[in-house]
Amino acid sequence: MGEMKKMVLIVAGVAGFGTWEARPENKIDFARDIQPILQKSCVECHGPEKPKAKLRLDSKEAALKGGKDGVVIVPGKADESEVYRRIRLPAGNDDVMPNKGDLLTKAQTDLIRDWINQGAEWPEGIVFAIVAKKNEEPAAAVSTTPKLAHHKPTAAELKAITMLESLGVEARPIAENSGWREVNFHAQGSESVDKALVPLRDVLGLVALGLGGTKIKDADLEYIEGLTNLNQLHLENTPVTDAGMVHLKGLVNLNYLNLYGTTVTDAGLEQLKGLAHLEHLYLWQTKTTEAGVANLKKALPNVDISTGAELKEVAKQEDKKDEKKEEKK
């Protein structure tokens, strides 16, 4: 099951803020910043199934090899990389990538540019699960995510941001001169998480919060109850349970929720039924069941729920291929 182990690494790739503003001064992390963009916008046309122009972007080896038109990624040189040129072309251009669906934002193209310039590092073992959705309509569903208007922080919010910074937690603007913020506790110790969650409740302009891998407790989530602008929430690999889900009921603009590696059950999913804007929910290695997932899907028909079952299916296919290869030998 070596391939299965590789597949599980995809989980890490979903645990980041790949859609926010690029920060050239910081090291670009492939799993956090780049993989989500490739998974969403590139691998549909450049995956294992009949890749367009014989170019695959779902693995390191294939991406660096290029396609029928040659190499498209030149590590260290974004300006000489064909993929970077194409993702910046205007809509309607024959060469623009992606050729269908939404074009990448400037923030996303900047991330790819910086990633390439920093050496296009792509950790070994990360592969993409390409699974066709059953009965999927040709046209993508219209996104229910509200567009962000301008946000002007209140005095209390600015004070809270200063307090967070004093605790070593940065509330970063998602774009230049933007009042909207993102906070990621990934590198913080549990003590600083506990302290910082208190002022965090006043950062009403918070749109992305990363608590993955922290020791956050269910009761701590009460501090984010009022953050109604929150769009992304990462709780993967934390001790949160169904009791913590109660505190998420008021996050009416939540679009992305990652609960991978938690002990949340079907009872916890019941608390999410009112999140009308939820589109991406990750439930790998949780205590939820197929029945519970189906029940939530009835209440939220627009939500794409990943349970890890697709990874097992891909792993099975890989095992079958390996068996056939052995038989031929």
Tens of pLDDT along 168-179?
Answer: 888 888 877 788
Per-residue pLDDT at 77: 92
Structure tokens at 106: 């400037």
CB 205 within 8 A of CB 153: yes
Low-confidence ranges of the chain (pLDDT < 50): 1-25, 130-146, 312, 314-315
Per-residue pLDDT at 8: 42
Structure tokens at 130: 């390409």
Cis peptide before 36 (omega within 30 of 0): no
What is the Cα gyration radius of the chain?
A: 20
**What is the Cα–Cα distance from 181 to 231, expressed in whole angstroms?**
11
- pLDDT one-digit tens code per residue, 34-62: 887 887 788 778 877 778 888 888 788 88
Per-residue pLDDT at 192: 54
Half-sphere exposure of 236 (CA within 13 A, CB side): 22
Half-sphere exposure of 274 (CA within 13 A, CB side): 10
Q: What is the largest CA-CA distance in the chain?
A: 71
**What is the Cα–Cα distance from 256 to 308, expressed in whole angstroms?**
16
- Helix, strand and coil percent figures for the chain, each rounded to 5: 40, 10, 55
What is the chain's mean pLDDT, rounded?
Answer: 79
φ, ψ (nearest 5 deg) of residue 195: -70, -45
- pLDDT one-digit tens code per residue, 213-248: 888 899 999 999 999 999 999 998 899 999 999 999
* pTM of the full structure: 0.57
CB atoms within 10 A of CB 286: 22
Give the burial class of 235: count Cβ atoms within 10 A of its Cβ; 0-12 exposed, 13-18 middle, 19 or more buried.
buried
**What is the Cα–Cα distance from 128 to 134, expressed in whole angstroms?**
18
Where do you find CATH 3.80.10.10 in the chain?
Answer: 155-311
Per-residue pLDDT at 191: 54
Which listed CATH number (3.30.930.10, 3.40.50.720, 3.80.10.10, 3.30.70.260) goes with 155-311? 3.80.10.10
